[in-house]
Amino acid sequence: MTPDSILKDAEARMDKAVEHLKGELRGVRTGRASTALVEYIKADYYGSPTELKALAAISVPEPTQILIKPFDAGAIGEIRKALEASDLGLNPQIDGKQIRIVIPALSTERRQQLVAHVKKIAEEAKVALRNVRRDANKQADQLKAGDSHYPEDEIETLKKEIQEVLKAREGAVDELVSAKSAEIMEV
């Protein structure tokens, strides 16, 4: 490996960690209805856990309501069980061949719990970013000891660049958390 390939690999892996965080944050409940709130919930569909977005059409007909129309009417019971088992605190109502979920207003206490949950998810993302840095630094150290014999100052420069990439991605994580926390706390 070359220093450039190590840095590019680290950047790509850190970007994936930030993208994963964005997906996780989309599923965190705020005061208004969003399809992202339920589309990644997994329901048991003929013995295999399947995401709701693959089992049903999900829409938001009103700002405080989510409508789920299963493609297979036989899956409606399993979808309801999965929604009730999720930690979102939702109460799905079966309405014919569809499920309606009314999103209740959040209490201040629940908002604070959700903000704490968002911070926990963000800390997990930062740990993933730091693990990528650790792996990239190990690869850089292997360049020093390997057959290629890169100069030590080039290895140190690579490690500094990896650290700069980490700081930039951690800044992005902090921005995402601030925006989501503000969105949760707005009444």
Hey, where are the domains in the chain?
3-26+107-185, 35-102
**pTM > 0.85: yes or no:** no
Nearest to 129 by CA among 140, 137, 117: 137
Percent of the chain with pLDDT over 90: 41
> What fold is seen in the domain 35-102?
Gyrase A; domain 2 (3.30.1360)
Flag whether pLDDT at 30 surpasses 90. no
pLDDT tens column, 97-148: 999 988 877 788 888 888 998 999 999 999 999 999 999 999 988 887 776 6
DSSP code for 104:
P
Higher pLDDT, 11 or 107: 11
CB atoms within 10 A of CB 89: 12
**What is 3-26+107-185's CATH number?**
1.10.132.20
Q: CA 83 to CA 20: how far, in whole Å?
A: 22
Angle, to 10 degrees, between the axis of helix 3-26 and the axis of helix 152-185? 10
pLDDT tens column, 53-97: 899 999 998 888 899 999 998 889 899 888 888 877 778 888 889
Average pLDDT across the chain, whole number: 88
DSSP code for 72:
S
Summarize the confidence of residues 38-61 as an average pLDDT.
89
DSSP 52-88: HHHHEEEEEEETTEEEEEESSGGGHHHHHHHHHHSTT
35-102 and 3-26+107-185 share a CATH fold: no
Helices then strands, counting H and E runs in the chain, come out as 5, 6
Output the pLDDT for position 170.
95
Flag whether pLDDT at 29 surpasses 80. no
Q: CA 80 to CA 118: how far, in whole Å?
A: 25
Task: Give the tokens for residue 182.
Answer: 């503000």
Q: CA 111 to CA 186: how far, in whole Å?
A: 9
